Structure 1
């Protein structure tokens, strides 16, 4: 156990992280209520998200669904959400649920855990924004669709968003430092960086992770809904696949606003929130879990809102059912081919005997 100095350092680090980060641990402030919520809520949420995102990738890889810009964004979003859930399972879940934080284990973990995690979260957020903008262009400016909304441009956009998210969070590689005291490694913010972490980074996070993305999503969805309400089905919206994909985009955007925006707003009003400190941390940690739910529910949103996605999903399950009843492996395929050749030869002999 750390001595009083180490505990004070932990407390200072916790207060700094809560004020300046969106994906941090809360150290000794994790109450029994929060711990139980994470212990029993995270495993099914994470498993649901990983299985759902895998099914999304399998559906989007089917023939006829892999050469559109929308499916490039959806595939990238599924991969990004899966990576967020996997990294959070190592970096966040043990801390919230059991009090073991990965960034306190070594110097490398202290410097790398939060930048990697923030990069993946920010990239997933902006993939939703890019997908929403792409749908807005398709619906509102159909003449520009063939020139702008191409798989190549979508792939370039996804790569650029990942690079920009990394650049945005590269400062975290240098803003955290491990402190070793009586054998315990504690990841804290050094004194020379506290002004930046207290006064500047919180607003950068709030603007780039909440205000700007939410504003773009809301404006684009408003423009899409105006076109759909006018019933201008003679242009791009007349394509049923485009319409179904657009409805899926609306569902994803709605989930983003519901799940992600509350935790960022709470971070801003956290110092002035009229609640006791334990209740504040319980509410904050619950909202963080809600934020992670945004990375796990897209499969269900696609299934509910996308009729074409449901059809392809059913076709995928049927195809898997057929594979189960068919011979598998090289030996099985060879045996099936030999038996087929034998039956063909036998049928040919029978026809010769008839003549």
Structure 2
């Protein structure tokens, strides 16, 4: 809903413009235009009186800059940390590093543009045919790509946890690079139709004709009715089902592995430590990736519900109070969706010990390095006394994140 409210003067000017452009218009048609404009005026004025609508406008003004600052800085830090020489042994870190780039693009193309539009009333997507088509394709592609990177890393974790004998074959950096590149081409191909199904179209808005990036004349039914459901399936519903399926199996296997730890207590000390450290490292990484998956589910499911509800209760749009509530709920759901693209850095810090240590080393510098050196020295003494090497500790360092 446009925030510009019609007043009586605007209505008069619009009617005069209609008469100027079409002098043969009948009195009945002119009266119909006047009634429609008056209805719009009443609707807009009533809408602005509701707390829900004012809260919706305030959230669009103040929440996006917070998400943008936290998200972009966090994603940039995540990328460099995940590509740190101590983190690149695993294919998982490649997926997560690319995810940080995709999330940043989502924030720039989607949230930043939306926020600037809220402040200035201008949207660069409507400025030229090239920008209209390119931004639309990129916006959908990077959103889908970001989500399916989470799916890819979840499937990889499933292989490591539930099919460990096949992990050495499938979970390699080289294979991960191929998957990352193939996924880019897949989602660009899926969304390529937007290059010809959307275009700049002329629309009458507030006394004048404006250009808006919208469905082309021959594709209105597809873009307005069919494509939103395809997007819903690609961005949320299908990934939701896949993540629930694989995460259920991962959690079940983790519970079994944790329950079986007590059996290892009867083995030789260093052998037990080696197995325990490897399992602990895998468990830490698994917990972190599960956290990312379930955060995605928690932040995107509300948007799914809102999109479906918008279709089911389409007739309620004529009621200003119901419309104000729906707009507020949609805004909250949309900001939650962007939150998913902003907080991975903090999830890594909260659940990834090795990631957290690198962050502390970057912040504290020498002091954290000294702590790390002390830990290495203590580890060396312990291993020497046991008259064995530290394979268990090495395994943990290489696999933990």
Note if contact 2:201-2:212 (Cα within 8 Å) is conserved in structure 1: yes
Change (3 A) 1:103 1:236: farther
CA deviation digits over 1:128-185, x for unaligned, max 9?
Answer: 1001111111000111111100011111111111111111211212121213465632
What residue is the counterpart of 1:208 in the other structure? Answer: 234
SS at match of 1:191: coil
Distance in 1 between the 2:54 and 2:180 partners?
Answer: 40
Note if contact 1:142-1:236 (Cα within 8 Å) is conserved in structure 2: no
SS at match of 1:188: strand
Distance in 2 between the 1:50 and 1:278 partners?
Answer: 31
Distance in 2 between the 1:225 and 1:96 partners?
Answer: 43
* Aligned with residue 344 of structure 2, among 280, 295, 298: 298
Unaligned runs of 5+ in 1: 9-29, 324-355
* Aligned with residue 249 of structure 1, among 276, 289, 293: 289
Offset at residue 258 of structure 1 (A): 0.7
Change (3 A) 1:214 1:322: closer
Once the two structures are superposed, the pairs formed by residues 93-172 of structure 1 within 5 Å of their partners are: 93-172=115-194
What residue is the counterpart of 1:51 in the other structure? Answer: 73
* Aligned with residue 35 of structure 1, among 42, 45, 57: 57
Distance in 2 between the 1:56 and 1:211 partners?
Answer: 27
Distance in 2 between the 1:239 and 1:61 partners?
Answer: 24
Distance in 1 between the 2:276 and 2:183 partners?
Answer: 27
* Aligned with residue 193 of structure 1, among 195, 209, 219: 219
Distance in 1 between the 2:127 and 2:294 partners?
Answer: 38
Distance in 2 between the 1:158 and 1:148 partners?
Answer: 14
| Structure 1 vs Structure 2 CA RMSD | 2.9
Q: Which has the larger radius of gyration?
A: 2
Offset at residue 51 of structure 1 (A): 1.1
What residue is the counterpart of 1:265 in the other structure? Answer: 305
Note if contact 1:91-1:113 (Cα within 8 Å) is conserved in structure 2: no
What residue is the counterpart of 2:333 in the other structure? Answer: 287
Divergent runs of 4+, >4 A: 1-6, 180-183, 232-237, 320-323
Distance in 1 between the 2:99 and 2:79 partners?
Answer: 10
Offset at residue 277 of structure 1 (A): 1.4
Note if contact 1:138-1:236 (Cα within 8 Å) is conserved in structure 2: no
Greater shift in the superposed pair: 106-115 or 270-279? 270-279
What residue is the counterpart of 1:224 in the other structure? Answer: 250
SS at match of 1:276: helix
Note if contact 1:35-1:98 (Cα within 8 Å) is conserved in structure 2: no
Distance in 2 between the 1:309 and 1:158 partners?
Answer: 22
Note if contact 1:104-1:187 (Cα within 8 Å) is conserved in structure 2: yes
Offset at residue 271 of structure 1 (A): 2.8
Distance in 1 between the 2:100 and 2:366 partners?
Answer: 21
Offset at residue 31 of structure 1 (A): 4.7
What residue is the counterpart of 1:350 in the other structure? Answer: none
Distance in 1 between the 2:295 and 2:247 partners?
Answer: 13
SS at match of 1:185: strand
Normalising by structure 2, we get a TM-score of 0.69
Offset at residue 188 of structure 1 (A): 2.4
Distance in 2 between the 1:285 and 1:125 partners?
Answer: 20
What residue is the counterpart of 2:362 in the other structure? Answer: 316
Distance in 2 between the 1:172 and 1:31 partners?
Answer: 31
Change (3 A) 1:195 1:184: closer
Distance in 2 between the 1:4 and 1:65 partners?
Answer: 63
Note if contact 1:77-1:124 (Cα within 8 Å) is conserved in structure 2: yes
What residue is the counterpart of 1:26 in the other structure? Answer: none
Normalising by structure 1, we get a TM-score of 0.77
Change (3 A) 1:129 1:322: closer
Q: How many residues are treated as equivalent by the alignment? A: 301
Offset at residue 221 of structure 1 (A): 0.9
